[in-house]
Amino acid sequence: MKFALLTLSALVFAVSAIAANDSVAFFYKPEKVGVLINERSQTGRLSNFLNHFGNSDVLNTTSTDQKINISCARGQIGIACTFTFLPAQNIQIRDRALSVVTNVAALGLPNAGAFEMSFASSMKDKFNFAVSDKGEIRMTGSKILGQ
């Protein structure tokens, strides 16, 4: 019986690990928010994000006011991106949530039209990135505890 429970537990863990092709982690402090996204795919949302802004294997950009930093890179088995935010007039950080309004010019990105991607984790971490046809970028995220 003990062996059967151990085997079942290992099987459940293995299936969960295989099913999870991406992850998002929202790191909150009132003075800084960091978002880490990993995707174990070369054809997923992060790939589309990189392709949208120039089809490069690396994207590193910082806003003109130094309050937003985006860093992405393709690896052999996937893509990882980090987004870092410091409080500013257009960056609201409070109650374990983030709301950002900026534009492609402020981030030194090309205006390549509309694009959106969203991520959510089983730990209730969320992140959404959307750029409009006019180049306005809206980013939101949150870490909700105890739900």
Report the pLDDT averaged over residues 22-40.
Answer: 94
Distances 26 to 5, 36, 77 between C-alpha atoms, Å: 33, 7, 22
Rg of the chain over all Cα atoms, to the nearest angstrom:
17
pLDDT at 2 over 80: no
> In this predicted structure, which of 9-18, 38-47, 137-146 has the lowest mean pLDDT?
9-18
- The pLDDT value given to residue 108: 96
DSSP conformational letter for 43: S
In degrees and rounded to multiples of 5, residue 49 shows phi and psi of -60, -50
**Cα–Cα distance for residue pair 141/98, rounded to 1 Å:** 5
- Would you state the pLDDT for residue 18? 39
User: What is the rounded distance in angstroms from the CA atom of residue 21 to the CA atom of residue 11?
Assistant: 17
Distance, C-alpha 34 to centroid of its chain = 9
